[in-house]
């Protein structure tokens, strides 16, 4: 089984300041774990290219892309950082990192659809699933998964794709972008109430939102996924699956209060992969979202990749 691993050094140069949980060390922790466990040997490493802004505009408005591009380019030129919301800071290296992160998702989509690999994982930052059509927020600038999903539909001509989001925080940006697009089914599970404090009522009929209270553990989440996600995914028969892979629902992660452990992420990945194997020719592109306890993040990405790579 062939699994491609997309990343780029530019993604580590995006730095929102000392003490910020969305830090460059996240990618280092993942890499160190993959090397230490030998998982790295089963992966095909690919250096992420920069995205074409025309592809970004398949998910975001032209005005937003122009505005955020100007802000990030100004930071790059001046060498100074700038806050774009209370949680999200653009630094001089953010422009390049954001282009690589979205570019990885599009490039991975191309590689999977062209048969260069069966599935792919994008170890990138900044993450994406809080970026709406016209707003950056929640550590996110471009919505990497939504950009890739729209690319698969609009450029590569797929008719049905699914987006699966298991980050502890609701993927409000992805929901905003794809609500009402009948070509996309979005299924998600997230702690509620928790930032961004929405998602309990879906914006469109093409999404299955599963809000759960704090301290929900793995057994309950597995049961909800089995009863609510799986029938919808089976009925939709996606031609490709995109994953917003956030690992901050882990019980050791302080940004949420859910109780997942590595075996839960392994199980979720297996269930997603079973749908992909049945309906999507195994085609999956998974993009890193949250996960802020470095050890828990590294271990959880490790089991996610073991399932994707079949090792």
CATH number at 90 reads: 3.40.800.20
Q: What's the domain count of the chain?
A: 1
* Cis status of the peptide bond prior to 230, with omega within 30 of 0: no
Give the pLDDT score at 149: 99
- Parallel/antiparallel/unpaired status of strands 161-165 and 43-47: unpaired
Report CA-CA distances (Å) from 245 to 126, 155, 249, 292, 308: 13, 24, 11, 13, 12
- pTM above threshold 0.95: yes
Structure confidence by residue, pLDDT tens digits, 87-120: 999 999 999 999 999 999 999 999 999 999 999 9
Provide the residue range defining the domain that includes 77: 3-309
Is 250 one of the catalytic residues?
A: no
Give the pair of three-digit tokens for residue 154: 């609009």
Distance CA 266, CA 275 (A): 15
Distance CA 4, CA 108 (A): 8
Structure confidence by residue, pLDDT tens digits, 206-259: 999 999 999 999 999 999 999 999 999 999 999 999 999 999 999 999 999 999
Geometric angle at alpha carbon 90, from 55 and 50, rounded to 5°: 30
* Cis status of the peptide bond prior to 193, with omega within 30 of 0: yes
Of 264, 289, 284, nearest in space to 273 by CA: 284
Give the pLDDT score at 281: 98
Query: In this structure, are residues 4 and 117 in contact, taking their beta carbons and an 8 Å threshold?
Result: yes
- Active-site residue (options: 130, 170, 250, 279): 130
The H-assigned helical ranges of 41-195 are: 53-56, 62-78, 94-113, 144-154, 172-178
Distance CA 49, CA 103 (A): 5
Give the pLDDT score at 1: 58
Those residues of the chain that have pLDDT short of 70 are: 1
Q: DSSP 3-state assignment of 276?
A: helix
């Amino acid at each position: 089984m062939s699994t491609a691993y997309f990343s780029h050094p530019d993604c580590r140069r995006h730095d929102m300041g000392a003490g910020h949980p969305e830090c460059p060390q996240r990618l280092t922790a993942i890499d160190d774990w993959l090397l230490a466990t030998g998982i790295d040997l089963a992966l095909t490493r690919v250096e992420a290219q920069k995205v074409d802004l025309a592809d970004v505009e398949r998910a975001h408005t032209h005005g937003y892309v122009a505005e955020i591009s100007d802000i990030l380019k100004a930071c790059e030129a001046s060498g100074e950082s700038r806050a774009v919301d209370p949680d999200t800071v653009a630094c001089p290296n953010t422009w390049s990192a954001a282009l690589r992160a979205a570019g990885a998702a599009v490039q991975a989509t191309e590689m999977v659809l062209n048969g260069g690999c069966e599935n792919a994982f994008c170890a990138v930052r900044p993450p994406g699933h809080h970026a709406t059509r016209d707003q950056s927020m929640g550590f996110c600038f471009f919505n990497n998964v939504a950009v890739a999903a729209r690319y698969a539909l609009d450029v590569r001509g797929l008719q049905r794709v699914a987006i699966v989001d298991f980050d502890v925080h609701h993927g409000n940006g992805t929901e905003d972008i794809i609500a009402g697009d009948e070509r996309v089914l979005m299924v998600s599970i997230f702690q509620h109430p928790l930032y961004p404090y929405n998602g309990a009522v879906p914006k469109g009929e093409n999404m299955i939102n599963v809000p759960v209270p704090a301290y929900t553990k793995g057994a309950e989440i597995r049961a909800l996924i089995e009863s609510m996600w799986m029938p919808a995914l089976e009925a939709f028969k996606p031609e490709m699956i995109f994953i917003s892979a956030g690992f901050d629902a882990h019980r050791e992660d302080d940004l949420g209060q859910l109780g997942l452990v590595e075996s839960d992420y392994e199980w979720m990945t297996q269930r997603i992969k079973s749908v992909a194997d049945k309906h999507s020719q195994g085609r999956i592109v998974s993009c890193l979202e949250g996960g802020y306890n470095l050890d828990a993040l590294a271990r959880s990405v490790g089991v996610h990749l073991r399932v994707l790579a079949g090792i």
